[in-house]
Structure 1
Amino acid sequence: MQIEIRQYQIHDAAAAAAIWNEVVRGGAAFPQREELTEENADSFFRSQSFTGLAEDAETGEIVGLYILHPNNVGRCGHICNTSYAVKDGVRGRHIGEQLVRHSMAQGKTLGYRILQFNAVVATNASALHLYRRLGFKQLGVIPGGFLMPDGHYEDIIPHYHEL
């Protein structure tokens, strides 16, 4: 599978929302509980500083995405935050890595100096392994910072990378 990452466009709303909602329904990575709807998906993706889509170059299928936006405002406005989602059935093919690398370059292009992840769930071993390999630094551990679908709490591990 040859992946090309491009900017989100309005006609991508349904495909992007479907992938986003898979992660929300899974309940083990994104803090959101509410799924995107047809009515709010486009405004959500367009409201980001950048939404990148991973597209299979041969089929045109959207197989992953990321959103990039400020992590804070004012004197901390140079720090961005991202979220990544890869479609079920194509995980494990390094699409997530391509999305992370693209977001790092895009964040720098947009003038951000630091990329920060606020809530990497401790059970998300593949993400933690990838972030370490790409040189992200762990900031610490927040005990019980993430509510899992079954009602128990998992630790979250914030990370950052200078762009």
Structure 2
Amino acid sequence: MLIRDVEDADWPQVWEIVREVVRAGDTFTYDPGLTAEQARQIWVLAPPGRTVVAVEEGRVVGTAHMGTNRPGPGSHVSTASFMVAADVRGRGVGRAMVEHALGWARERGYAGMQFNAVAESNVGAVELYRRLGFSVVGTVPGAFAHPTLGRVGLHVMYCPF
């Protein structure tokens, strides 16, 4: 698997993943009615942020974006988000992208990485993040309206460097 910067020609494949994840409504706080153009504006970050794709045999199987979590006095902490195509989940694509984002942030001198809104029901992601050094530093009860579970908590997770 190759992880590289996103290119304009990748967007149709990236949009397929983003659309699938967002419309499921069970992990991201994005509006399920998000259009391709709205999604591109949110997902593809301008420098100094970065958006990448994970590619296997010419197919985009995952995407991530990373950057500064907050400006000004909070600019020493990074953040990132990840989406993986449903048919390749559980094969290490997400882990590879998280490790890539952590390396990117360390190389740029960030003090750590913070995830602002991880649905507590997204058990696979929460466990992956914990294995890679993150801990839950707080949970907002009932802050995420899961389509089948109802309101579940949103974790704030942090990994110091």
Q: CA deviation at 1:109?
A: 2.4
State the match for 2:40 in structure 1. Answer: 41
Pairing partner for 2:6 from 5, 8, 30: 8
Answer whether contact 1:17 1:36 (CA < 8 A) is retained. no
Structure 2: segments with no counterpart, 5+ residues: none
1:53 aligns with 2:45: no
Q: Which stretch shows the higher mean deviation, 86-95 or 104-113?
A: 104-113
What are the within-5 Å matches in structure 2 for residues 3-152 of structure 1? 3-33=1-31, 34-37=33-36, 41=40, 44-47=43-46, 49-56=49-56, 59-149=57-147, 152=150
User: Aligned equivalents of 2:27 and 2:39: distance in 1?
Assistant: 21
Q: CA RMSD in A?
A: 1.9
Answer whether contact 1:69 1:80 (CA < 8 A) is retained. yes
- What is the CA deviation profile of residues 41-63 of structure 1, one whole-angstrom value per residue up to 9, with x for unaligned ones? 2784143601111000xx21000
Equivalent AA in structure 2 for residue 37 of structure 1: A
Answer whether contact 1:14 1:38 (CA < 8 A) is retained. no
Aligned length: 159
Structure 1: segments with no counterpart, 5+ residues: none
Identity in percent: 31
Equivalent AA in structure 2 for residue 41 of structure 1: R
Equivalent AA in structure 2 for residue 65 of structure 1: T
Match of 1:16, SS state, is helix
Equivalent AA in structure 1 for residue 44 of structure 2: F
Match of 1:119, SS state, is strand
Between structures 1 and 2, the one with greater strand share: 2
> TM-score if structure 2 supplies the norm length?
0.90
Q: Which stretch shows the higher mean deviation, 121-130 or 148-157?
A: 148-157
User: Aligned equivalents of 1:70 and 1:154: distance in 2?
Assistant: 27
Q: CA deviation at 1:29?
A: 1.0
- What is the CA deviation profile of residues 17-39 of structure 1, one whole-angstrom value per residue up to 9, with x for unaligned ones? 11111110110111111424158
Equivalent AA in structure 2 for residue 161 of structure 1: C
User: Aligned equivalents of 2:153 and 2:118: distance in 1?
Assistant: 8
User: Aligned equivalents of 1:35 and 1:5: distance in 2?
Assistant: 25
Q: Which stretch shows the higher mean deviation, 17-26 or 144-153?
A: 144-153
